[in-house]
Amino acid sequence: MEQEFTHLDDAGQARMVNVSAKDQTLREATAKAKVFMSQETLVKLSDGEVPKGDVFAAARIAGIQASKKTSELIPLCHPLAINAVSVDIDVQEDHVAIEAIVSIEGKTGVEMEALTACSVAALTIYDMCKSIDKAMVISEISLWEKTGGKSGPYKRKE
């Protein structure tokens, strides 16, 4: 079955998808990311000893702000009136885990908003820790779950 590319018009030109005929439903998306770093950096983060301040607070705020600005960053994304955004950050054995959950009652999903929140939170952690660990690696930015909309639910298999 041939897939229709809805971001292209009949002439193959980029366009924003018309969502006016879509039903307004409750939609939610969960995305995750990891920032791998040295043990020394993880300890400093955990102990609140990073010279630039509260890394996790800054990363949470940055992720939330980024989710609200996704349409300004990603071409053809619709500006959305997001209901809620949470950005959770957890120190693991060899990395910092980030999870963003975004919800809306609307006509289009919030997958890009959740992915953007994770990405910018991870970049903020990198920025605030780069003076002590330039070798950090941001990886595994991915959609883990989504609900609502015509395509139905999605859940990543671990």
Tokens 């003076």 map to which residue? 131
Choice among 47, 88, 127, 133 that is catalytic: 127
Q: What phi, psi does 98 have (nearest 5°)?
A: -120, 135
Helix (H) or strand (E) holding 117: helix 111-129
Q: Give the end-to-end CA distance of the chain in Å, rounded to a whole number.
A: 28
Helix (H) or strand (E) holding 35: strand 25-36
Reply yes or no on whether 127 is catalytic. Answer: yes
Evaluate whether 62 touches 121 at the Cβ level (below 8 Å).
Answer: yes
**Active site residue ranges:** 127
